[in-house]
Amino acid sequence: MNAILPWAVHFALACFALAMVFALIRLLRGPAAQDRVLAFDTLYINGMLTILMLGIGAGSAVYFDIALLIALFGFVGSTALAKFLLRGEVIEP
């Protein structure tokens, strides 16, 4: 089982990197702002999963804390962008 784990981590990292490239293309070429928000959401989720795979591969718990922060800031950013697209402002008077 331990011999398969490094190969699985490298395969997952390659898949997440490919998914990040596709999300970046959609972020740059997206025809609508909603497509760009979804691409941003996908990009930060794939980035978080990449950090988690690096943490599993290294066996360090620090990576998991970093992934938690990325998830938190990504959620707040996606929520703010969605609210801006819906109402035109993020902070209401």
On whether the CB atoms of residues 55 and 62 are closer than 8 A, the answer is yes
4-87 domain in CATH 3.40.50?
no
pTM summary value:
0.83
With tokens 């990504």, the residue in question is 74
Instruction: Give per-residue burial for 74-84: e unless 16+ CB within 10 Å, then b.
Output: beeebeebbee
Do 58 and 84 contact (CB within 8 A), yes or no?
Answer: no
Q: Is the pLDDT of residue 64 over 80?
A: yes
pLDDT in tens, 19-37: 999 999 999 998 888 888 8
Are 56 and 9 spatial neighbours (Cβ–Cβ below 8 Å)? yes
Residue-range domain boundaries for the chain: 4-87
